[in-house]
Amino acid sequence: MRVEWALRLKGVEYEYIEEDIYNKTPLLLELNPIHKKVPVFIHGEKVILESFIILEYIDETWKQFPILPRDPYDRAMARFWAKVAEEKVMMNAWRSICTQFEEEKEGYLKHAMESLEKIEEVLVQGKSKFFGGEKIGYLDIALGWMSYTVPVWEEVGSMKIVDPILFPSTAVWMENFRNHPVIKDKLPPRDETVVYCQRISKEIGARMAAARKG
Amino acid sequence: MRVEWALRLKGVEYEYIEEDIYNKTPLLLELNPIHKKVPVFIHGEKVILESFIILEYIDETWKQFPILPRDPYDRAMARFWAKVAEEKVMMNAWRSICTQFEEEKEGYLKHAMESLEKIEEVLVQGKSKFFGGEKIGYLDIALGWMSYTVPVWEEVGSMKIVDPILFPSTAVWMENFRNHPVIKDKLPPRDETVVYCQRISKEIGARMAAARKG
């Protein structure tokens, strides 16, 4: 979705090819033998992998509507918070939903919350509609998954992740992002996402339990 | 070391402040409350974290001796292989050394090797002294740890990681990197590194075993 959002913001035409993670195409396995996962971005004869790396490539190739800030320090901060959101918030919230062990559930959620607090601070200090200011930028695109996935995860995991009382700015930002004209009609349908998350989280939970047994 | 190498290549003066990971300074904890680790790059009033993000910041701030390639696709590839080396080669080789379980040791090493094969291919295709061509670039700096850590790890873990028969180009590159005038006198002393790795790998191995028990 990040790749699509960036291309749409820049007005670059593209073709979207759906991949079923349960039945990967030979094309995917050929183009991404290391990770065997989407997104894979094909531009002419060039193949680029990993969503954050694709975003930088898109921003360097199509200069209109820049998504990374201009200033080197602001760029560094956008990249840093994107990584924190990915490795700390997303990873821990997801593990919290998947795990079959009650005591792990709380621990993972606590870790996710600690990093979410820092991201809330970034928004509070920025005082604008998006992380990128008045328009969507790199960090908004990187964090965009939260705007539609968190409500689904909260339902699937029977937990509150972004409590609007604890994270008021994040809650408003999620709303702003979801309602942006370029994003609005490109979000996956909620019901399908719930079913998908239920299925995947159960499978991963079982795998996590098996790994713990060694 | 990556940050120092980049600054030295660009001829930027800096002050190096040593941190003892067993006895972290209040300054480190204040500047990097999320990860509590080095490197922390202080530039005037700006603080930048995470070595790959610092490298991009340095390259965007001091334009002389560019370390990232100019072409967007080449830049994407440098970033991609740096990430693979970090998350696949380094992580798995390190786990292989640390684990107390023989069967895990082999599995981790196999994963590290699979990704190392791809990196060997990049060197074979590039046909030059460094990943960056005839001069050191981003990917060389990102992978530079291999040139002095791998021989130490091989000793500590009693294993072969970069066998010159299996990975001839990587072995030659390690030699080229180690002997580069800017790198040569900035490598940590071998004996100290061996002692340090022995200590750390034992501690992590014990923690890995404890986590497996749950």
Taking residue B16's Cβ as centre, other Cβ atoms within 10 Å add up to 8
Residue A11: what are its φ and ψ, rounded to 5°? 70, 30
- Cβ of A34 within 8 Å of Cβ of B72? The answer is no
Distance CA A34, CA A40 (A): 12
Q: Name the burial class of residue B151, with classes exposed (0-12), middle (13-18) and buried (19+) by CB atoms within 10 angstroms of its CB.
A: middle
Complex ipTM over 0.90: yes
Distance CA B44, CA B33 (A): 19
Would you state the structure tokens that stand for residue B117, as one six-digit string? 């094969």
For the stretch B23-60, pLDDT in tens is 899 988 888 888 888 899 999 999 999 999 999 999 99
Judge whether residue B144 has pLDDT over 90: yes
Whether A30 contacts chain B with CB within 8 A: no
* Residues B58, B60, B134, A55, CA torsion sign: positive
pLDDT at site A214 = 59
Count CB neighbours of B164 within 10 A.
13
Residue A60 and residue B79: Cβ atoms within 8 Å? no
B151: nearest Cα among B119, B121, B178: B178
Query: Which of A23-27, B19-23, B55-59, B151-155 has the lowest average pLDDT?
Result: B19-23
Q: Which residue has the tokens 């909620």?
A: A190
**Cβ–Cβ below 8 Å for A57 and B76:** yes
Sequence-separated (6 or more) residues with CB below 8 Å from residue B123: B131, B169, B170, B173
Mean of the per-residue pLDDT values of chain B: 92
pLDDT at site A51: 96
Chain A CB contacts of B83 below 8 Å: 50, 53
Mean pLDDT, to the nearest integer, of A82-99?
A: 92
Distance CA A23, CA A84 (A): 31
Percent of chain B topping pLDDT 70: 100
3-state secondary structure A164-200: CCCCHHHHHHHHHHHCCHHHHCCCCCHHHHHHHHHHH
Show Cβ contacts of residue B157 under 8 Å, excluding neighbours closer than 6 positions: B96, B97, B201
Average confidence (pLDDT) over A169-197 = 92
Question: Which pLDDT does position B214 carry in this prediction?
Answer: 59
Q: What distance in Å separates the CA atoms of residue A141 and residue A39, rounded to the nearest whole number? A: 14
Query: Which of A60, A3, A95 lies closest to B75, judged by CA?
Result: A60
Asked if residue B143 has pLDDT above 80, the reply is yes
- What's the pLDDT tens digit per position in B172-195? 999 999 999 999 988 888 898 899
Q: What are the structural domains of chain B?
A: 2-61 (3.40.30.10), 72-193 (1.20.1050.10)
Q: Say whether B75 and A57 touch across the interface (CB within 8 A).
A: yes
Judged by CB atoms closer than 8 Å, whether chains meet at B83 and A34 is answered as no
Comparing CA positions, the residue from B40, B36, B59, B62 lying closest to residue B49 is B40
Residues forming beta bridges with residue B130, ordered by sequence position: B133
Give one DSSP letter per residue of B69-116, joined into a string. -SSHHHHHHHHHHHHHIIIIIIHHHHHHHH-S-HHHHHHHHHHHHHHH
Please tell me what DSSP assigns to residue A43.
E
In three-state secondary structure terms, B117 is: helix
Q: Residue range A134-163: average pLDDT?
A: 92
* Chain A contacts in chain B segment 53-72 (CB below 8 A): 53-54, 56-57, 60-61, 72
Q: Please check the confidence at residue B157 and state whether its pLDDT lies above 90.
A: no
Task: Tell me which amino acid residue B160 is.
Answer: K
